[in-house]
Amino acid sequence: MRVLITGFPQPTHIYPLVPYAQALQNAGHEVCVACPGGVEDLITSAGLTAVTTGRAEEVDVDTWAAMEAPDLDEMDRLAEELGFHNAADRDHWEVFYQFFVFATRFYIPRKPRKDIEELVDFARAWKPDLVLWESWFPAGAVAARACGAAHARVVIGPDYGMWSAERFAERQRRAGAASLENPYPSTVARLANRYGFDVDDELLNGQRTIDPLTPELRLTTGPSDIPVRWIPYNGGMAKPSWLHGRPERPRLAFTVGVSTRAFDQGEWRTPKIFEAVSGLDVEVVATLNSDQLVGIDRIPGNVRTVDYLPLSQLLPTCSAVISHGSSGSLWASIAANIPQLITDTGDRHRLDLDNAENKTTAARAQADNAEEKVTERAPDSWISSKFVVDRGAGLRLDHQTQSVEEMRAQIAEVLDGPSYREGAAALHREWLSKPSPADIVPDLEKLAAER
């Protein structure tokens, strides 16, 4: 069969799709990964066929603002209307509204985008039997319906789309009427309506959902549709010689993802973490580029900085990891069977797109108005840190409230404590018990055949 795979064109969204594409290709199916321009090298380097729709464009702050930057007053008003008074619901809502809906609107704005039109045109011309679309990129579902293909949604993190549907439905039951509009379906409708069909649950949630998450991370109450094992993929490179053998002392990985590379100079967690690890008898490998190291006066002697290194190469050589708690880092660490320290703060999730460009860590720290600061909290950090702590597989680090000595003590505790290794091993066994991407290929073949 022919399989079209598509997603939001950023490494953190495309990389999780690669194992499914490779599994289908290895099973003898014809696979194309098609999405707006800019990530074709990531796709082809994985041995896959890339189809580029549109071209990569530089997006400045003014362009972001024009693409319906989140209205924080409206976000707060809707939160009150929905009854989001506890911290958990409020955190989920702010990530949903500012990140998930904004990402959806980025590729489904009020004025149609040529690259999305070209994606639908390609689907209609190539006529796939099956479309797999990443959960932050519902344009893929529209392309599937426009060409008549079966389609499945691939969840790559907390399921904010389904979570919002459940919360708005709950509010409707309480109020007895649909008095509030969920911004996610109405955004997808802009594109669906252009091709002559309405938005329904199947379009928003897929005919099936490929779901690698545990119940704690999923956020939704329903059962997992097609459970699967998250296979970490971070790209490839030649393994450096210093990774060939075992380290002479415990090795600690430090990774904070790609977001601060893209939008900031300086990295707010790093100064304190460097101070904390400098007093430990460990070898630290920090995957930080030059922009993330802006403002760092001294790199401790036991810290090696590398611009890029696949976590699938680094983590198996480590005794523990410090990360920002993204799904990619979380599952790569679980796959490597190591304890985790996840950085998280009590910050609210507040974006400041108008003032985000060129804001250094120092500038943020000196801001007089806290509402104008770019948040020092990663979107999923609190979910991941709670999960790891509750499962006994690690601890939470808060650079805002903890002293260097407190952070150092927690890092040492995780490195030395057998209970954290046991907790990590339990998560690893649970991860191994799930079917691999190759194991679910028959489910996907059946879906295509039925449709």
List domains and CATH numbers for the chain.
2-229+435-450 (3.40.50.2000), 241-433 (3.40.50.2000)
pLDDT digits (tens, 9 = 90+) for 93-108: 999 999 999 999 999 9
For the segment 161-179, the average pLDDT, to the nearest whole number, is 84
What pLDDT sits at residue 66? 58
CA distance 401 to 346: 9
Q: Which of 62, 108, 76 is CA-nearest to residue 356?
A: 62
Out of 167-176, 227-236, 349-358, which region has the weakest mean confidence (pLDDT)? 349-358
CA distance 133 to 6: 5
Q: Between 361 and 127, where is the model more confident?
A: 127
pLDDT digits (tens, 9 = 90+) for 359-413: 434 334 433 443 444 568 888 999 999 999 999 999 999 999 999 999 999 999 9
For the segment 169-193, the average pLDDT, to the nearest whole number, is 88
What is the residue whose two structure tokens read 């879906």?
447
Q: Between 172 and 185, where is the model more confident?
A: 185
Quote the percentage of the chain above a pLDDT of 90.
76
Q: Which amino acid is at 246?
A: R
195, HSE (Cβ side, Cα atoms, 13 Å):
22
CA distance 119 to 44: 18
Name the range with the highest mean pLDDT among 194-203, 264-273, 292-301. 194-203
What pLDDT sits at residue 59? 54
Provide the H-helix boundaries in 96-182.
Answer: 101-107, 114-126, 139-147, 160-175
For the segment 37-65, the average pLDDT, to the nearest whole number, is 81
CA distance 57 to 309: 26
Please give the DSSP secondary-structure letter assigned to residue 360: B
For the segment 30-48, the average pLDDT, to the nearest whole number, is 96
Would you list the DSSP string of 256-323? Answer: --SHHHHH-BS-TTHHHHHHHHHTSS-EEEEE--TTTTTT-----TTEEEES---HHHHGGG-SEEEE
Answer for the pair 16, 134: CB distance below 8 angstroms, yes or no.
yes
Name the range with the highest mean pLDDT among 21-35, 59-73, 232-246. 21-35
What pLDDT sits at residue 363? 37
CA distance 3 to 131: 6
What pLDDT sits at residue 148? 97
What is the residue whose two structure tokens read 């304190």?
272
CA distance 267 to 362: 10
State the pLDDT confidence band at 58, using cuts at 50, 70 and 90. Answer: low
Query: Does residue 447 register a pLDDT over 80?
Result: yes
What pLDDT sits at residue 57? 60
Strand order through the sheet with 226-227:
49-53, 30-36, 2-6, 130-134, 150-154, 208-211, 226-227
Entry pTM: 0.92
What pLDDT sits at residue 67? 67
Question: What's phi and psi for 151, nearest 5 deg?
Answer: -150, 150
Query: Does residue 36 register a pLDDT over 60?
Result: yes
